[in-house]
């Protein structure tokens, strides 16, 4: 859904529903107070050429092979526990694959769809790597466990770590404060996720006789 995150816990359908509704409501509110933006005809023409390019090529890289290569790299370099050097290598690999995007070849509309998805998968992989490098702490159990930053740091990182496209087209980082909760949340609910993780040093509970 628009507005959702690219890197979320597994089985996140409920989160997709929530973020999708929030994104829709926010978009409707924004549109109600703004006029339509001017359409850049040149930009539209260039995007049309980019989108249809794989069908125009007579030879090139199959989308499924490039996608497989990308997903293997995500597993190899971004899978937790995360190590800084591995993630840096991942960024280098994802940047290199950018060159492959201009060689994607599609034989029919379905392959064209897969070719365009590869563009998005590559972007998401790079964003996940750069955001993980940016957040120098560990949080959310195994999801963001960094070998070189094993502790949780609420003083610096109790925030949203976000990315945006800079003026030069490159990804830039920024922090966004956590907004107040829509409904009151007590301390027990606020820390429930952390308490699901049983520390290794914690003694096992005795079984009642």
| CATH number of the CATH domain containing 90 | 1.20.58.100
User: According to DSSP H, which parts of the chain are helical?
Assistant: 13-32, 41-56, 63-78, 84-101, 109-134, 154-157, 187-190, 192-195
Residue 28 falls inside a structural domain: no
Cα–Cα dist 90/84, whole Å: 10
Predicted pLDDT of residue 20: 82
According to the model, what pLDDT value does residue 197 have? 59
Asked, for residue 85, whether it belongs to a domain, the answer is: yes
Q: Is 16 exposed, middle or buried (0-12, 13-18, 19+ CB in 10 A)?
A: middle
For residue 118, give both structure tokens.
């590869």
pLDDT range class, residue 8, cuts 50, 70, 90? low
Q: What is the pTM of this model?
A: 0.79
12 domain residue, yes or no: no
| 205 DSSP assignment | P
Distance CA 84, CA 144 (A): 12
Confidence check: pLDDT of 180 > 60: yes
Q: Please give the tally of structural domains in the chain.
A: 1
Token pair of 180, please?
């107040």
Tell me if 151 is assigned to some domain: yes
pLDDT band at 203 (very low <50, low <70, confident <90, very high): very low
Residue 101 exposed, middle or buried by CB count within 10 Å (0-12, 13-18, 19+): middle
Average pLDDT over residues 144-148: 92
Q: Is residue 168 part of a domain?
A: yes
Q: Which position has the higher pLDDT, 183 or 88?
A: 88
Query: Which of 207, 203, 25, 173 has its CA nearest to residue 91?
Result: 173
User: Does a structural domain hold residue 31?
Assistant: no
Q: Could you tell me the residue range of the domain that residue 132 belongs to?
A: 49-195
In a domain, 2, yes or no: no
What would the pLDDT profile of 15-65 be if each residue is shown by its tens digit?
A: 778 778 888 899 999 999 999 989 999 999 999 999 999 999 999 999 999
Is residue 148 domain-resident?
yes
């Amino acid at each position: 859904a628009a507005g959702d995150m690219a890197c979320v816990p597994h089985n996140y359908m409920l989160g997709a529903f929530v973020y999708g509704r929030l994104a829709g409501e926010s978009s409707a509110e924004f549109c109600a107070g703004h006029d339509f933006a001017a359409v850049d005809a040149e930009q539209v023409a260039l995007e049309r050429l980019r989108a249809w390019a794989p069908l125009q090529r007579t030879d090139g890289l199959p989308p499924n092979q490039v996608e497989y290569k990308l997903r293997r790299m995500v597993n190899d370099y971004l899978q937790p526990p995360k190590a800084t050097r591995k993630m840096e290598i991942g960024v280098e690999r994802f940047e290199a694959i950018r060159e492959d995007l201009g060689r994607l070849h599609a034989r029919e509309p379905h392959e064209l769809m897969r070719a365009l998805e590869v563009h998005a998968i590559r972007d998401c992989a790079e964003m996940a790597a750069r955001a993980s490098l940016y957040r120098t702490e560990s949080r959310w159990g195994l999801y963001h466990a960094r070998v070189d930053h094993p502790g949780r740091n609420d003083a610096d990182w109790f925030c949203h770590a976000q990315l945006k496209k800079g003026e030069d087209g490159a990804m830039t980082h920024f922090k966004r404060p956590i907004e107040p909760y829509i409904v009151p949340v007590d301390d027990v609910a606020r820390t429930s996720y952390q308490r699901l993780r049983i520390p290794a040093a914690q003694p096992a509970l005795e079984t009642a006789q």
